[in-house]
Structure 1
């Protein structure tokens, strides 16, 4: 088992599994975030955020999610370093575009930029919600008192054009990263039949576009409306 994890195929397998797991989380996270623009009163988003914060299953999954992020990030650096050692002589950059797409050749760079955005996002939202909830205001929705997460998130988008733009850039970078990561994860797991691979590449592009547009439309909504 240890030999499998240290081998190239083992590392790619771990990357694929953690990547697919994180892609499922992104769908859930985006779905909840889109509630920000569905209801300007903030009630729907607060209910969604309250459910995510109090549901026992979600609480159990939080450390699993954190571990998934950590493993995915660490393994990406290990694989990149392994590939670098196996390729001491640089590729001819003039011919690189013919052999692979830009995103596939820059997955580590895209992942690093997404990581920077993720850290900023965690500092502004997750850290406050999780470790400094007393600084947040409260709201009552259907008779239940809860933290006014809508005021925290929407307030930052309304007050900071810079953060709104950074959020849009982060969503676009995430889309590029997912566009290649989606189908390549399935390819690593053995779905490399030519017909299936073509279909997965199309699904991956659609998924990446939906994620990029979905995350980008949220700050745009607040920047334009407010």
Structure 2
């Protein structure tokens, strides 16, 4: 039986709670090679005008407008002049917030996944890191704004069962110039697909509570 789509109301919450809710969910994308799916094992939360690391920190622009819309939409942006990264919006309409999809485990045909990412050396590397995840799923600017709670959308998020809180870890976000100590990166302990932490500030292993903070 196919899992149900994630409910929009499940994402209309503060960003850390939405991030933990997305762990264990499956992202499906219709590509020229068929449907590719990954189970999310690592995410990062970004919120509104009080988060200096968020794209929405300095207000609404043409680039980040999706972050200010209703929850449950893809926010896709281009970074370093070479990669796309994908987020799912959260909070309520008008409150900017999004969760970066950092890593996933492939749950669709593994051979097709390797065909899409032939440079990957092992299955755990296929969607290990936000750029690889977006590339595997074929996410580009044309997917920006898609509703992932809509069954007719070419990119969908399927609800996963609630994860065991003891398996959720949290630590500093990766590769941000500001607010880098905010422990809003969440991942599932033991997954080989979780991306490495490189800034040298310590990955952290504190169990997550699945919430906290206040709305922007």
Q: TM-score, normalised by structure 1?
A: 0.23
Q: TM-score, normalised by structure 2?
A: 0.23
Structure with a larger share of its residues in strand: 2
Higher-Rg structure is 1
